[in-house]
Amino acid sequence: MLLLIFAILFCFVLIFAGVLLVYSPGNIEPYTDSGGKQLPGSVSEKIFVNIGGVEQGMFIRGKNVNNPVLLYVHGGPAFPNYFLIDKYEPGLEDHFTVCYWEQRGGGLSYNSEVTLESMNFDRFTDDAIEVTNYLRERFGKEKIYLMAHSGGTPFAIMAAAKAPELFYAYIGMSQITNQAESEKLAYKYMLEQYTTAGNENVVKEFEEFPLLDSAEYIIPFYKSSLRDNSMHELGIGTMRNMRSVFSGVFLPVWMCRAYTVMEKVNIWISKFFFIKKTKLIEELFQTDIPAKVPKLEIPVYFFSGKYDLTVNHDLSKSYLNKLQAPVKGFYTFDNSAHSPLFEEPGKTKEILVKDVLQNQTSLADRN
């Protein structure tokens, strides 16, 4: 009987390994015309560039290299989400040549050259500027657009403030402001929901992080599975309709054909082992973004899901109201939580085309 169990398990391992290899060629498909030929003027590649003294990976995709260039800064920080770009195909490449840069220490950019000491917002800010200059030179652009999501927004907005002459506009999706305050508001909401539902077991788990009054409780809560699982269960996590981190995040990484098997392994090594050794999370909770960046010299657009408590919607809106900028617009996505780009891609593209590219705010919230 024991031999039979081992044989079955071995077969499952072989099947999983086979499926994984099939789904891990490590390349991306070119854009093609109706005849199957590569679309003239298109670009679709995975490359590695020396940024800040270390090799960093990025995907560059676009249907027409004459389009404006957009640098997409993923969240985490240092946890790439290209696998969601690949899965949901939000279509930014219809209007931009997009660089999906994977930050040092994460994803394609996880390697032995990256030191723990270099994993900080100042270095990430300089890396973003260096990637920007690479893109400007390569595609012959005076300026590019800068779009950041969640954990990428603190240093992306710092890059926009430090080198405004490089950017046409800054787009912050789920813009972080004061993450410690955001966590307190999310904690309070979730505890109220579970208390009202009479879920005593989960309430007891929340009470292990009393009131989140200090880093002693906030950071462990932020890193806990309780936070992630509860946010997704209540529809305030990665996406409004994503109820499981396992099926919504973990499995799509393994199914993404753009990565090799080893690159996929590195994504998780980075997230669960390397990033935890850095001071990035501590720096995130110690940084007051509104105080750090009270003014931008370029147009600013904030995209925020109505149900986003991962990065509090109201805090982002309050920040934009106070932020000094020549043009600014706040956009609430009524059917989204933390990821409007994937939850409401049509609306995202409409705003980018009608407002961001036109340097106006005709579609922005009016209150």
Q: Tell me what the mean pLDDT of segment 350-360 comes to.
A: 97
* Burial (0-12, 13-18, 19+ Cβ within 10 Å), 34: exposed
Least Cα distance to 155 among 277, 293, 49 occurs for 293
Is the model more confident about 93 or about 23?
93
CA 47 – CA 217 distance, rounded (Å): 40
Predicted local confidence at residue 98, as pLDDT: 98
Q: Tell me what the mean pLDDT of segment 26-50 comes to.
A: 90
Domains and CATH numbers, the chain: 43-178+284-356 (3.40.50.1820), 180-258 (no CATH)
What share of the chain in percent tops pLDDT 70?
93
In the predicted structure, residue 7 carries a pLDDT above the cut 50: no
pLDDT band at residue 349, thresholds of 50, 70 and 90?
very high
Strand order across the 167-173 sheet = 43-51, 54-62, 97-101, 69-73, 144-149, 167-173, 300-305, 328-333
Three-state SS sequence of 181-209: HHHHHHHHHHHHHHHHCCCHHHHHHHCCC
CA 174 – CA 277 distance, rounded (Å): 25
CA 348 – CA 333 distance, rounded (Å): 9
Q: Tell me what the mean pLDDT of segment 131-158 comes to.
A: 97
Predicted local confidence at residue 33, as pLDDT: 86
What does pLDDT average to over the chain? 92
Structure confidence by residue, pLDDT tens digits, 243-256: 888 899 999 999 99
**C-alpha to C-alpha distances, 260 to 20, 25, 45, 256, 263, nearest whole angstrom:** 9, 6, 14, 9, 5
Q: What is the CA radius of gyration of the chain?
A: 21
Q: Cβ distance 46 to 57 under 8 Å?
A: yes
Predicted local confidence at residue 19, as pLDDT: 56
CA 173 – CA 292 distance, rounded (Å): 18
Predicted local confidence at residue 36, as pLDDT: 83
pLDDT band at residue 35, thresholds of 50, 70 and 90?
confident
Residue 14 contacts by C-beta under 8 Å, 6 or more apart in sequence? none
pLDDT band at residue 20, thresholds of 50, 70 and 90?
low
CA 158 – CA 221 distance, rounded (Å): 27
**C-alpha to C-alpha distances, 350 to 43, 137, 346, 347, nearest whole angstrom:** 23, 28, 6, 5
